[in-house]
Amino acid sequence: MSLELSAGTPAKARVRTRGISRAATLALNAQGTAATTPAPQVAVAETETNFLVLDNRFGTMIYVILESDPRVDGAFPALAVREILLERRATSPGVSQQDTGASAAIGRDPAHLHHFREFGSDRAVAGAGFILIEPRYVGPSWPAYVSAFRPDGDKPLKRHRETSRPASRG
């Protein structure tokens, strides 16, 4: 068997073979082309370790998924924390995860309860056989959750009494 490069541009050089099958020749040509052709940009999903807090302080279970461990925050209440895997929805190149996070639905894998995935809609969660997680908060830290998510409502602002001085007479 001998291998010879046929004439042509280096980027598209083809291997011409003698004594091997046509399938092997095609495979060698495909390898040569694949090595020189740039791969197309595709959307890639990321899996990150996050922290799950089940906040039931307000009568409704709220799934709080945080990027940082809330146990290091001094103001964190004594709630259970679990490490989980969150698979972020695949994004196109140039689109940040923050652009997709707010509108995404979160599903939990029923076969692997520590694995969560971000989907484009509630219907996509159900279609994949995942359990829809609602209500939920996905964010960077416990203080961010406390400041953004207030199930008991905003606290009323204190009104300062205006002290009115009687006009001086005289």
Tell me the per-residue pLDDT of 24-80, one tens digit each, with 9 for 90 and over: 555 555 555 444 555 444 445 678 899 999 999 888 899 999 999 999 988 899 899
Between 17 and 142, the higher pLDDT residue: 142
Between 112 and 39, the higher pLDDT residue: 112
16 has a pLDDT exceeding 90: no
Residue 24 in contact with residue 1, Cβ under 8 Å?
A: no
Q: Which helix (H) or strand (E) holds 54?
A: strand 47-55
Token output for 30 = 């495909």
Count of Cβ atoms closer than 10 Å to residue 73 Cβ: 14
Residue 142 in contact with residue 76, Cβ under 8 Å?
A: yes
170 has a pLDDT exceeding 60: no
pLDDT at 169: 60
Tell me what the mean pLDDT of segment 5-33 comes to. 47
Domain ranges, ordered by start, for the chain: 2-36, 47-148
Prior bond to 135 cis, omega within 30? yes
Residue 130 in contact with residue 55, Cβ under 8 Å?
A: no
103 has a pLDDT exceeding 70: yes
Neighbouring residues of 116: CB distance < 8 A, sequence distance ≥ 6: 50, 52, 65, 84, 85, 86, 87, 106, 107, 108, 109, 133
Confidence class of residue 159 from pLDDT cuts 50, 70 and 90? low
Tell me what the mean pLDDT of segment 138-161 comes to. 76
Token output for 129 = 């056989």
Q: Which of 38-52, 83-97, 129-143 has the highest mean pLDDT?
A: 129-143
Residue 130 in contact with residue 119, Cβ under 8 Å?
A: yes
